[in-house]
Amino acid sequence: MGAFGHYLTSHFATLRLEFWGLLVGGLATGFIYGMVAIGYTLVYGVLRLINFAHSEIFMCGGFASYFVMKAIVGTSVPSGFASIGLITLGVVAGAAGGAIAATALERVAYRPLRRRNAPKLAYLISAIGASYFMYNLAGKEFGRYNIAMPQLYLNHPVFSIFGAPVELYYLVILIAGLIMLIGLDRLVATTKLGRSIRAVAQDAETASLMGVNIDRTIALTFILGGALGGAAGFLFGLGSGVVYTMGFTPALKAFTAAVLGGIGNLRGAVLGGLLLGLAESFSVAFVQAAYIDVVAFGILVLVLLVRPTGILGERLGRSA
């Protein structure tokens, strides 16, 4: 057997041993990417622009939930219903922080430009400026170092899949992520607000003539995307703590996920996030952690070569 054959055999053996653990971890990461990707795809749907300050909305959600948790949680580690209540509260605090930041961003960085019919480049520069402003402000106010989230539960294996233990932290992400993503999907597909968002995404001018309040719809779209991004910031912070630069890499990956799944497509964003999370997880074991981004972006390029509009394609203005 040649060296390459030996390499494949040993790495497949590694994969076989670790498969289920990597799958669960990859799905957890993927749900976080998916939740952030929704923010990109929603805003792209209604404004046709990439909100490059979304990384800071993720960060604001993380810090908002951190401060709430710090104020509530004492020195002892909660358990049982107290833990469930605190996690729920953390998700709500993160979502509120993200939504408030997104609203401020829309009011200050985007709405004035929209009123002046500014070119798309102006939005881009405005977004980048807002991003720099927000993360530098956070660094100045909250410190430029990683801060651990108060412990909300005692992490332990809850059950195992084919011998691979599934830790409580991953379960929290999977359950919270699933509930929020299904909720958003239904909201956009079945409610009046969802119809407004889809109408504006399809044709803003016609939607306006049909009585849709464009400003309000865009503002609510930012709030929805911000809430999901902020909640993702909390879930991320639960495992990794919060720091002013925490949004950069996850948001870049989430943007990649949104493009991978088909920008403007909600289910595509989630699918893209999950695929990216799994690809990263397995590439750590199968290739090397140093190549994780090479693999992730390699997949993106390959998919776009075959399907330039992403896996599920652009579905602007449709229910999913």
Site for other proteins in 97-156 (CB under 8 A): 139, 144-149, 151, 155-156
Q: Which of 38, 246, 259, 260 binds other proteins (CB under 8 A)?
A: 246
Go through 98-137 and write b for each residue having 16 or more CB atoms within 10 A of its CB, e for each that does not: bbbbbbbbbeebbeebeeeeeeeeebeebbeebbeebbee
Is 171 one of the binding residues for other proteins (CB under 8 A)? no
Q: Which of 103, 241, 313, 317 binds other proteins (CB under 8 A)?
A: 241
Element spanning 165, H or E: strand 164-167
Q: Which residues, other chains included, contact 84 with Cβ-Cβ below 8 Å and sequence gap of 6+?
A: none
Q: Which residues, other chains included, contact 162 with Cβ-Cβ below 8 Å and sequence gap of 6+?
A: 19, 20
Q: Which is nearer to other proteins, 219 or 274 (CB)?
A: 274
**What Å distances lie between residue 218 and 89, 123, 163, 241, 314, CA to CA?**
27, 15, 47, 31, 19
Rg over CA atoms, the chain: 20
Q: Which is nearer to other proteins, 21 or 310 (CB)?
A: 21
- Distance in Å, CB of 154 to other proteins, minimum: 8
Please give the structure tokens belonging to residue 41. 């795809």
Q: Which is nearer to other proteins, 196 or 283 (CB)?
A: 283
Q: Name 166's bridge partners.
A: 159
The distance in angstroms from the start CA to the end CA of the chain is 49
- Distance in Å, CB of 199 to other proteins, minimum: 36
Site string for other proteins, 45-84 (x = CB under 8 A): --------------------------------x-------
Q: Which of 179, 289, 294, 302 binds other proteins (CB under 8 A)?
A: 289
Is 288 one of the binding residues for other proteins (CB under 8 A)? yes
Is 269 one of the binding residues for other proteins (CB under 8 A)? no
For the chain, helix (H) and strand (E) counts, in that order, are 12, 2
Q: Which is nearer to other proteins, 46 or 152 (CB)?
A: 152
List of residues contacting other proteins (CB under 8 A): 14, 17-18, 21-22, 25-26, 28-29, 32, 77, 139, 144-149, 151, 155-157, 164-165, 167, 169-170, 236-241, 243, 245-246, 248-250, 253, 277, 280-285, 288-290, 292-293
